[in-house]
Chains A and B, each alone.
Chain A
Amino acid sequence: MAALEIHNVRKEFGSERVLKDVSISIDSGEFLILVGPSGCGKSTLMNAIAGLEPVTSGNIYIDGEDVTWRTPAERDIAMVFQSYALYPSMTVRQNISFGLEMRKVPKAEREAAVERVADLLQISHLLERKPAQLSGGQRQRVAMGRALAREPKVYLFDEPLSNLDAKLRVDMRTEIKKLHQRLGTTIVYVTHDQVEAMTLADCIAVMRDGHILQLGSPDEVYNNPVDMFVAGFMGSPSMNFIRATLEADGDGYALRIATPDEADLLLPWPAARHTAELVEQLDKPVILGLRPEHFSEEDVRLSEQAEGTLLEAKVSVVEPTGADILLRLPLGEQEITARVGPKCEVSPGERLALRVDMSRAVLFDAETEQRLA
Chain B
Amino acid sequence: MANVIRRQTPAAKLWRGVLYAVLVIAALFYVLPLVVMLMTSIKPLSEISAGTLLSLPQNPTLAPWTKAWGEACTGMRCEGVGGYFWNSFAIVIPAVLISTAVGALNGYALTKWRFKGFELVFALMLFGCFIPFQVVLLPMAQTLGWLGLSSSRAGLILVHVVFGIAFTTLFFRNFYVGIPNELVSAAKLDGAGFFRIFWRILLPVSAPIIVVSVIWQFTHIWNDFLFGVAFSAHDTQPVTVALNNLVNTSTGVREYNVDMAAAMIAALPTLVVYVLAGKYFVRGLTAGSVKG
Q: Is the CB of B191 within 8 A of A102?
A: yes
Residues of A within 8 A of B190 (CB): 73, 98-99, 102, 146, 150
A77 within 8 A of partner (CB): yes
Q: Is the CB of A78 within 8 A of B189?
A: yes
A37 within 8 A of partner (CB): no
Known: A87-B201, A89-B201, A89-B205. A79 touches B186 (CB 8 A): yes
Question: Shortest distance in angstroms between B181's beta carbon and chain A's nearest beta carbon?
Answer: 9
Q: Is the CB of A102 within 8 A of B196?
A: yes
B-contact bits for A73-91, CB 8 A (1 contact / 0 none): 1000111011101011110
Enumerate chain B interface residues (CB-CB to A < 8 A). Answer: 180, 182-183, 185-193, 196, 200-201, 204-205
Q: Which of A72, A88, A99, A102 contacts B185 (CB 8 A)?
A: A72
Chain A, 28-84, CB within 8 A of any chain B CB: 50-52, 71-73, 77-79, 81-83
Q: Which residue of A lies closest to B180 (CB)?
A: A83
Q: Which of B183, B200, B204, B205 contacts A85 (CB 8 A)?
A: B183
- 4 smallest A-B Cβ distances: which pairs? A89-B204, A99-B190, A102-B191, A85-B182
Q: Is the CB of A73 within 8 A of B201?
A: no
Q: Give the number of residues in A that approach B within 8 Å (Cβ atoms).
A: 23
Q: Is the CB of B180 within 8 A of A52?
A: no
Q: Which of B190, B204, B205 has the most CB of A within 10 A?
A: B190
Known: A89-B201, A89-B204. A99 touches B182 (CB 8 A): no
Q: Is the CB of B185 within 8 A of A52?
A: yes
A343 within 8 A of partner (CB): no
Residues of B within 8 A of A79 (CB): 185-186, 189
Q: Which residue of B lies closest to A87 (CB)?
A: B201
Question: Shortest distance in angstroms between B202's beta carbon and chain A's nearest beta carbon?
Answer: 9
Bound state CA distance, A82 and B186, in angstroms? 11
A125 within 8 A of partner (CB): no
Question: Shortest distance in angstroms between B62's beta carbon and chain A's nearest beta carbon?
Answer: 46
Q: Please, could you name 7 A-B residue pairs with CB atoms under 8 Å apart, sorted by A?
A: A52-B185, A79-B186, A85-B180, A90-B204, A99-B190, A102-B190, A146-B190
Residues of A within 8 A of B196 (CB): 102
Q: A83-B182, A98-B200, A99-B191 are in contact. List 15 more A-B contacts (CB 8 A).
A: A51-B188, A52-B188, A71-B188, A72-B188, A73-B188, A73-B189, A77-B189, A81-B185, A85-B186, A87-B183, A88-B183, A90-B204, A98-B190, A99-B190, A146-B186
A182 within 8 A of partner (CB): no
Q: Is the CB of A81 within 8 A of B182?
A: yes
Chain A, 240-265, CB within 8 A of any chain B CB: none
Bound state CA distance, A98 and B196, in angstroms? 11
Q: Which residue of A lies closest to B192 (CB)?
A: A102
Enumerate chain A interface residues (CB-CB to B < 8 A). Answer: 50-52, 71-73, 77-79, 81-83, 85, 87-90, 98-99, 102-103, 146, 150
Q: Is the CB of A103 within 8 A of B204?
A: no
Q: Which of B182, B183, B186, B204 has the most CB of A within 10 A?
A: B186
Bound state CA distance, A301 and B99, in angstroms? 86
Q: Which of A79, A85, A90 has the most CB of B within 10 A?
A: A85
Q: Is the CB of B180 within 8 A of A103?
A: no
Question: Shortest distance in angstroms between A38's beta carbon and chain B's nearest beta carbon?
Answer: 17
Residues of A within 8 A of B204 (CB): 88-90
Q: Which residue of A lies closest to B179 (CB)?
A: A88
Residues of B within 8 A of A87 (CB): 183, 186-187, 200-201
Bound state CA distance, A83 and B185, in angstroms? 12
Known: A83-B180, A89-B201, A89-B204. A73 touches B191 (CB 8 A): yes
Residues of B within 8 A of A103 (CB): 191
Q: Which residue of B lies closest to A73 (CB)?
A: B191
Bound state CA distance, A85 and B200, in angstroms? 14
Question: Shortest distance in angstroms between B82's beta carbon and chain A's nearest beta carbon?
Answer: 41
Q: Is the CB of A88 within 8 A of B191?
A: no
Q: Which residue of B lies closest to A149 (CB)?
A: B190
Question: Shortest distance in angstroms between B130's beta carbon and chain A's nearest beta carbon?
Answer: 31
Bound state CA distance, A88 and B292, in angstroms? 14
Residues of B within 8 A of A78 (CB): 189
Question: Shortest distance in angstroms between B206's beta carbon and chain A's nearest beta carbon?
Answer: 10
Residues of A within 8 A of B205 (CB): 88-89
Bound state CA distance, A82 and B185, in angstroms? 12
Question: Shortest distance in angstroms between B119's beta carbon and chain A's nearest beta carbon?
Answer: 14
Q: Which residue of B lies closest to A81 (CB)?
A: B182
Residues of A within 8 A of B191 (CB): 73, 99, 102-103
Q: Is the CB of B201 within 8 A of A50?
A: no
Q: Which of A78, A83, A98 has the most CB of B within 10 A?
A: A98
Q: Which residue of A lies closest to B193 (CB)?
A: A73
Bound state CA distance, A52 and B196, in angstroms? 17
Question: Shortest distance in angstroms between B55's beta carbon and chain A's nearest beta carbon?
Answer: 55
Q: Which residue of A lies closest to B185 (CB)?
A: A52
Q: Which residue of A lies closest to B202 (CB)?
A: A89
Question: Shortest distance in angstroms between B185's beta carbon and chain A's nearest beta carbon?
Answer: 5
Residues of B within 8 A of A99 (CB): 189-191
Question: Shortest distance in angstroms between A173's beta carbon and chain B's nearest beta carbon?
Answer: 21
Question: Shortest distance in angstroms between A56's beta carbon and chain B's nearest beta carbon?
Answer: 15
Q: Which residue of B lies closest to A147 (CB)?
A: B189
Question: Shortest distance in angstroms between A17's beta carbon and chain B's nearest beta carbon?
Answer: 20
Residues of A within 8 A of B180 (CB): 83, 85
Question: Shortest distance in angstroms between B148's beta carbon and chain A's nearest beta carbon?
Answer: 42
